[in-house]
Amino acid sequence: MSRRRSLSTLKLVRIGEPLSRLELESMASRIREAFRDVVRRFQLLEYQPPGVEQIEAGLLTQALEQDFGGHILGITDADLLDRSVPDFFNFVFGCKDNRNHVAVVSTHRIQSRDPSRSLARLLKVSLHELGHNFGLVHHYSYEPAVDGRYCPMTKGDFNRHGERSYVRSVIDARGYHFCDSCRRFLRLTN
């Protein structure tokens, strides 16, 4: 199976109940819009996680790969950890497994009192991690997209910002459209 074909179907896996089925369907629609001509089909799936508040992101991606296989975005409300990175902060908002096409995102650290803002943040983190599934890399230069917002692949210096400031200054500033260089890469490689 070609890379293009294997990534054209995205399995959106709701891990526990971090969002409603309707919210999951809305996310699928927004992802399709952002990855126009790249993601063509969705499967909405359920996964019952172990009852934990924190989970190693790599273990979760391996479990999803083993149970579902293929191109996957898992969404959880558990706090995701990545102990493979020697850093003071070992939690992540999302993570892509470099061994396969599985990414996971968490609602845990991006919650807002405003539910629509929480969903917007979740979508932006999801677009970022899915971008990695398609081979996109981080932008540290704050590349603008066609709508003037930051490209979803924008990555700030977390250690400079801290958790709350990073969410507000980087994640909230991202848009839902990729910059010209990312769109060109997606067109040429997928």
* Domain CATH number, residue 82: 3.40.390.10
pLDDT digits (tens, 9 = 90+) for 106-120: 999 888 999 999 999
Per-residue pLDDT, 29: 96
Cβ-based neighbours of 146, under 8 Å, separated by 6 or more: 177, 180
The phi-psi region of residue 120 (left if phi > 0; otherwise alpha if psi is between -120 and 50; otherwise beta) is alpha
| Counted domains in the chain | 1
Written as tens digits, the pLDDT of the chain (190 aa) is 445 557 899 999 999 888 999 999 999 999 999 998 899 999 999 998 778 888 999 999 999 999 999 999 999 999 998 877 666 567 888 999 999 999 999 999 888 999 999 999 999 999 999 999 999 999 887 778 888 899 999 987 655 555 566 677 788 889 999 999 999 999 998 7
Under 8 Å between Cβ of 13 and 73: yes
Chain-centre distance for alpha carbon 171: 11
The CA angle 20-117-17, to the nearest 5 degrees, is: 20
Q: Sheet containing 9-15: which strands, arranged edge to edge?
A: 41-47, 9-15, 72-76, 102-106, 94-97
Tokens for 159? 């250690």
DSSP codes of every residue in the chain: --HHHHHHEEEEEEESSSS-HHHHHHHHHHHHHHTTTT--EEEEEEE---S-SEEEHHHHHHHHHHHT-SSEEEEESSEEE-TTS-SS--EESEEEETTTTEEEEESTTS--SSHHHHHHHHHHHHHHHHHHHTT---BSS--B-TTSSBPTTB---HHHH-HHHHIIIIITTB-SS--HHHHHHHHHH-
Global pTM reads 0.91
Q: Could you tell me the residue range of the domain that residue 165 belongs to?
A: 3-189
Angle (CA) 154 159 165, round 5°? 70
